[in-house]
Amino acid sequence: MPIDLRAAREAFDASTDLTVGIEEEYAILDPATLELADRFEDLETAAAADPVLADAVSGELIASEIEIRSGRGEDVADALVKQREARRRLFALVERHGLKLGTTGTHPFSDYRDQRIIDTEHYRRVQDGLQYVARRNNTFALQVHVGVHSGDRAVALCDRLRPVLPMLLAISANSPFIDGRDAGLHSARTQTFTKSFPRCGVPDPFGDWQAWHEYVDLLVRTNSVVEFTQLWWSVRPHHSFGTVEVRICDAQTTATEADALIALIVVCCRRALEEIDAGGADGRDRPIPGRLIEENMWRAIRYGQDGRLLDLEAERVEEYDASEAIDRLRAWTGADVVLPELNGAQRQRRLIDTGATPAEVYAAAVKETLATYPAEEPVP
């Protein structure tokens, strides 16, 4: 759909703070080999007969990927109830079709050149516009939408979350492999996606809706974009839903990790909005420079929670252990969020250190996924 900035502003004017929507991307797998299997259309057709999945299932670029969406939840608890039911139904549907699902940020060994982009107008446009960049992007993510009342507050929230994004990435990193090899990274997904796509990664601070409006209008006037979703920033105001969408996290291997990350993102948004409403959008006289945030982004990509980050909120910037990121966010937000000591990338890298192959590491991750996401029987 063409970009309608007036309608987008109206969506935020009508929005409610802290409603929540969840999007999770899964790899569709051959159960014998755990290779990617291009069966999205079959699953989409079958899902249309399910009263929950008919609305929850969506395509995401390649035919070996499937996404489920919670829809609008009145708060994070409501959204998680909806998403868990959709998960249970999806995993049951996939099993009936003789397939499996995987949840890591990249597939370790399936060749991106063998994947087929799904045939929709949107993805035809993406493929035509980006060519290799689109075809190369076989990645899987967790995205969270948080409702924000007013466009100015939504833009201010995006600005405030900029230095938080590398912390969330370090916590959620879950993709050490690419192209059948150990990439030596903790989030190969982020390197593949955010460093290749245009208008991606950590955005500049915009300050208010008018500045955002002028930027998007420039892109439209100069034929740079024709639809809103071509702005792939890691945090962005979502024009259709009146939400701020946080897009920095890798897909999570276990449901408990996904649920905790979702709750953490929502409480970060809540705390940031409190600061904005109190008159301090980012706690500094000026926004943190992008070059410093990018330093932390690289550290999160390369080392995840095994590395060190820069304390960008301190008067004098110093390093700290990235494993402390979750404690720092808990202290900032007051959240009581529990995550494993080792995240997905760390667990995989520990197996790599024992000499396990990419196939063996991925098999262990898929086993974890199947033990947690479809933990209950689908609701009839």
Report pLDDT for 287.
87
Domain count, the chain: 1
Residue 377 inside a domain? The answer is no
CATH number for 17 = 3.30.590.20
Report pLDDT for 334.
96
Residue 380 inside a domain? The answer is no
Distance CA 208, CA 170 (A): 28
CB distance 9 to 151 below 8 Å: yes
Residue 224 inside a domain? The answer is yes
Which residue in the block uniquely carries the two structure tokens 């994004």? 165
DSSP structural state of residue 177: E
Residue 200 inside a domain? The answer is yes
Output the DSSP codes for 19-48. Answer: -EEEEEEEEEE-TTT--B---HHHHHHHHT
Dihedral (CA of 227, 229, 235, 236) sign: positive
Residue 18: phi and psi, rounded to 5, are 70, 20
Report pLDDT for 375.
62
Determine the number of helices (DSSP H) and then strands (DSSP E) in the chain. 15, 13
User: Residue 310 sits in which domain range?
Assistant: 5-372
- State CA 155 to chain mean position distance: 19
Residue 379 inside a domain? The answer is no
Indicate the pTM of the whole model. 0.96
Q: Which amino acid is at 264?
A: L
Distance CA 26, CA 106 (A): 10
Q: How many CB atoms lie within 10 A of CB 377?
A: 9
Distance CA 349, CA 108 (A): 12
Pairing between strand 177-178 and 181-182? antiparallel
Distance CA 228, CA 189 (A): 22
Pairing between strand 200-201 and 232-233? parallel
Segments of the chain scoring below 70 in pLDDT: 1, 280-285, 375-380
Residue 378 inside a domain? The answer is no
Output the DSSP codes for 328-349. Answer: HHHHHH-------SS-HHHHHH
Report pLDDT for 379.
40
